[in-house]
Amino acid sequence: GKSEEQSMVTPAVPSNIKMRRCGYCMVKQPMRARHCQLCQHCVRRYDHHCPWIENCVGEKNHPLFIVYLSVQLVVLLWAWYIAWSGLYFEQSWDWLQHNIFLIVSFLLIVIFTIFVLLLLISHLYLVSCNTTSWEFMSHHRISYLKQSDLENPFDQGVILNLWRFFC
């Protein structure tokens, strides 16, 4: 018998869902695990393979990935502030020639800031729903989600999802 806390953390698997064996590693995969083709190993609670950190984001490093995105955002906002403070607008061709590098840098910083902000918001939303990027994008292909009665069998409410993820 499972304890009450264990049954709250791990949703019951429907009886018609069989545990899978990884076709590459030959390891018995628990729910939410997936084999990463780029890393060549299985990852528990697989979220995605991130080209920025050259590694998979999964059960053990997903909170650190959120911290990484937050730090990236702070650094980009700081760079945005510094680039903006260096711009003194004048309407002359000579001014534009001397400040073109700063203007291009400022525009790149704005683009990267928007990208990182959207990525952080989307990951925080998925964390609050207790779902992974892989589950969100491939809901229709994952056996334990296709055959579940609930839309997301892992969702336990926003507060509890965030508490379990970060704590």
If you ran DSSP here, which 8-state letter would residue 13 be given?
A: P
Q: What number of other Cβ atoms are within 10 A of residue 143's Cβ?
A: 13
Mark whether 50 is an active-site residue: yes
- Tell me the β-bridge partners of 29: 20
For every residue of 25-90, which 3-state class applies, written as one string?
CCCEECCCCEEECCCCEEECCCCEEECCCCEEECCCCHHHHHHHHHHHHHHHHHHHHHHHHHCCCC
CA distances from 134 to 32, 46, 48, 159 (A): 9, 7, 6, 22
Catalytic, out of 25, 50, 56, 167: 50
Q: Name the strand (E) or helix (H) holding 21.
A: strand 20-21
Active site members: 50
